[in-house]
Amino acid sequence: MKSKNTKQAVHWTAITAIAAVIAIGFAGLSLTACDDGNGTPDPCSGGHSYSEWVITTEATCTQDGVETEKCEVCGDLGTETRPITAGHNYEWAVTVDATKTVSSLVETCTVCGDTKGSPKTHIDSIALLQTVLSGLDANTADEPYTILLNVDSLGGDAGSVGDTLGNNNTKFVNLDLSGSAITSIEEFAFLQCVNLTGIIIPDNVTSIGLAAFGGCFGLTSITIPDNVISIEESAFTECIGITSITIPDSVTEIEYGAFAGCTNLESVRLPINPAFTIIRERTFWGCESLTAITIPDSVTEIEDSAFAGSTLTTVEFKGTAITTQWDDNAFPEGTALWNAYSAGGIGVYKRTDTTTDDWALSVE
């Protein structure tokens, strides 16, 4: 008879053997937790996990597309769908004609070429100006683009016209504002817009603000309309590209340094207006190319340094309303010119020898 301990040993040996057989069987089968019992893995036997959407039909410009639910585990496509809305992708197509004028703007679908709305011949918002400029090729000051801009304000939520030009400073532009509903060119409006080569100001503008065009080095052409009354301080300071300026007779006030530093300014026509009485301090300071000027008969005072730094050799006085002597630096050799004027009155005064202080009334 076997002892109790012997029986227990045989029992545990049998159990161990059976466990080993079972382990070997499972290892050979490599069953998964989701096995369907037939040896085929079914990871979603407990249900699919539809948490993704895939495009099963692409949308076109005119036909909706379809997205279908997809199981993130096994990739099965479910029965639930949702539409992809059809639609055009419109962008502005810009036409630049042979004269470099932005002549047409049409909203055009980049996919199918469909257009909407009527073509524009002008830009009517600052945002659209930014869009157009960003799409134009870089150019040179010799071949600027001409852009017609019709806006109610030179500034707004999209920034200002001046900022927009400044942000696209490789695009040189002649700006035609003649259709814009603005009544003033605000202060600093185009400050240091070096790529602004020309501008047409609308007829309804009555004032040009502080440093409005200050530092516009590339500006060579400007038309000031007949309704402008005031040109504020430093409005055109250092516009070194301007060679000629006609100030309309509507102007009654030209403030301090309005044209100071316009080194290539050769010709100036001052307003003929009874209310234009003072040529302010430094108005034409540093205009080293200015050799001649005509002073209207309405002028009663010429302030300090009004023409300092110019190369005036001819000054014509149309009247004798100036009774207070100007400072010596109001003109080149200003004291000598005053002496000649106070003695001679109306007439053309010339300085034939710039090495002396000689000014004399011309008898021609």
| 18 assigned to some structural domain | no
Residues 230 and 180 in one domain: yes
What is the rounded (10 degree) CA torsion for 191, 194, 197, 199?
-10
The rounded distance, in Å, linking the Cα atoms of 290 and 277 is 21
Q: Is the pLDDT of residue 31 over 50?
A: no
Domain co-membership, 235 together with 253: no
User: Could you give the percent of the chain with pLDDT greater than 90?
Assistant: 72
Answer yes or no: are the C-beta atoms of 325 and 348 closer than 8 Å.
no
Q: Residue 174: what pLDDT?
A: 96
Looking at the structure, tell me whether residues 229 and 255 fall in a common domain: no
- Quick one: pLDDT at residue 12? 46
In a domain, 286, yes or no: yes
The domain boundary, picked from 217, 242, 267, lies at: 242
Phi first, then psi: give them for residue 173, nearest 5 degrees. Answer: -135, 135
pTM given for the model: 0.78
Identify whether 125 is part of a domain. Answer: yes
The pLDDT value recorded for residue 337 is 96
- 217 pLDDT band, cuts 50/70/90, is very high
Domain limits at 350? 248-364
Is there a single domain that holds both residue 262 and residue 301?
A: yes
315 and 238, same structural domain? Answer: no
Residue 259 forms part of a structural domain: yes
3-state secondary structure the chain: CCCHHHHHHHHHHHHHHHHHHHHHHHHHHCCCCCECCCCCECCCCCCCCEEEEEEEECCCCCCCEEEEEEECCCCCEEEEEEEECCCCCEEEEEEECCCCEEEEEEEEECCCCCEEEEEECCECCHHHHHHHHHHCCCCCCCCCEEEEECCCCCEECCEEHHHHHHCCCCCCEEEECCCCCCCEECCCCCCCCCCEEEEECCCCCCEECCCCCCCCCCCCEEECCCCCCEECCCCCCCCCCCCEEECCCCCCEECCCCCCCCCCCCEEECCCCCCCCEECCCCCCCCCCCCEEEECCCCCEECCCCCCCCCCCEEEECCCCCCCCCCHHHCCCHHHHHHHHHHHCCEEEECCCCCCCCCEECCC
Over residues 61-84, the pLDDT tens digits come to 888 999 999 998 888 898 898 998
CA 284, 285, 291, 293 torsion-angle sign = positive
Q: Worst-scoring range by mean pLDDT, 158-167, 207-216, 251-260? A: 158-167
| 134 and 187 within one domain | yes
pLDDT digit string (tens) for 226-259? Answer: 999 999 999 999 999 999 999 999 999 999 999 9
Judge whether 28 lies within some domain.
Answer: no
28 versus 318: the higher-pLDDT residue is 318
The verdict on 233 and 252 lying in the same domain is: no
* Nearest by Cα to 164 from 141, 185, 133: 133
One domain for residues 151 and 186: yes
Q: 193 CB contacts (<8 Å, ≥6 apart)?
A: 162, 165, 166, 169, 213, 216
- Higher pLDDT: 94 or 363? It is 94
* Rounded Cα gap, residues 270 and 265, in angstroms: 13
Pull the structure tokens for residue 88.
């055009």
Residue 52 lies in a domain: no
- Do 205 and 309 belong together in one domain? no
pLDDT value of residue 156? 60
Regarding whether 277 and 219 lie in a shared domain, the answer is: no
Q: pLDDT grade, residue 155 (50/70/90)?
A: confident
238 and 258 assigned to the same domain: no
In tens, the pLDDT along 274-304 reads 999 999 999 999 999 999 999 999 999 999 9
Instruction: Show which of 190, 222, 242 is a domain's final residue.
Output: 242
Last residue within a domain, chosen from 222, 242, 262: 242
Radius of gyration of the chain (CA): 41
The reply to whether 70 falls in a domain is no
- Considering the domain boundaries, does residue 265 fall inside one? yes
173 and 238 share one domain: yes
Q: How many separate domains does the chain show?
A: 2
Q: What is the largest CA-CA distance in the chain?
A: 161
